[in-house]
Amino acid sequence: MKTSLLKWRPDYDNAAEEYNKAATCFRNAKSLEQCRDCLIKSSDCHRQNRALFHAAKCFDQAILISKEMNKLSDIRGLAERACNLYQQHGSPESGATVLDKAAKILEQSHPEDALQLFKQAVDVATIEDSTRQGAEYASKVSRIMVKLGMYDQAADAIRREIGLLQQVGSDSAIGRLAVALVLVQLARGDYVAAEKAFKEWGNCCDAAEVQTLESLLQAYDDEDPELAQRALSSPFIRHMDIEYARLARDLPLPKGMAIAPKANVIENAAASYVSPNSGAASDASKPVAGPAGGDDEDDGGLC
């Protein structure tokens, strides 16, 4: 790296190679921090030498070292730098792959960072017309959003995934996503949007899925919790992706129609109620006595 009177420019190529050798030695010696520093320095030397692919590979290895060090918060930044270098080199597929690999490492412990990496992977794949790969990354975006309870964003992500699958022509996958979209809309509390999603994409569902969705929407329309529970317990919903299966399990059921409880009647608790007017009415119905000393035929009253 040093310059002299006869050496005006640092020898980045040899320096990168020496840093790589040093990183290997540090890794064998379990000095992971120094190993990662050497890899980053090697990447910088490769970048100065315009060897962008090798520079990206160094960041790729640094991601694995960070995982061994349990410094997961550094992985997202390293993955983004590696993807940028891969794209500059003209290898966007490798860039999307490194984003996917880093996101899988972060998915359990840092789902927010994993979500951003998967989003970037979708953008990289779709820019390069790799629609099928982009749909796979979009599926991971949707599932993480459902896991985090981001139902509004999850509905938009599922629609984007459906759009990518339409370009591929995978109707069966669209049918399963239609079920997922209905569940997400019900989780949002928007029955109208759930019914609209079924009407829009239900033609891609198979017979069992259509029957289950019809029963589910009918249950929410009729406020029937038992019918909704039976629909949500259908086999194909239980065997969906784990995030959607858990969503169906935890979905709020309709409340049902409130039925007033029967009143308990206590015998002889109080005297029967008699209307004040009932006496006058009964008196009016009684026969009217005739005048004293009148004829015998008038003794029977009016009748």
pLDDT of residue 294: 47
Q: Is residue 239 part of a domain?
A: yes
CATH code of residue 192: 1.25.40.10
Q: Lowest-pLDDT range, 9-23, 69-83, 202-216, 246-260? A: 246-260
Q: How confident is the model at residue 293 (pLDDT cuts 50, 70, 90)?
A: very low
Q: Is residue 273 part of a domain?
A: no
Q: Is residue 284 part of a domain?
A: no
**Taking 80 as the threshold, does the pLDDT of residue 1 lie above it?**
no
- The H or E element that residue 120 is part of is helix 111-127
User: Among residues 103, 212, 200, 102, which one has the least CA distance to residue 155?
Assistant: 200
Q: Is residue 82 part of a domain?
A: no
pLDDT one-digit tens code per residue, 79-130: 999 999 999 999 999 999 999 999 999 999 999 999 999 999 999 998 887 8
Q: Is residue 143 part of a domain?
A: yes
pLDDT one-digit tens code per residue, 54-72: 999 999 999 999 999 999 9
* Distance between CA atoms of residues 74 and 104, nearest Å: 14
Q: Tokens representing 100?
A: 């996917």
What is the domain extent for residue 198?
138-254
Q: Is residue 109 part of a domain?
A: no
Query: What's the structural domain count of the chain?
Result: 1
Q: Is residue 238 part of a domain?
A: yes
Q: Which residues contact 241 (CB under 8 A, 6 or more apart)?
A: 143, 180
Q: Average of pLDDT values for 262-287? A: 51
Q: Is residue 245 part of a domain?
A: yes
* Distance between CA atoms of residues 223 and 257, nearest Å: 7
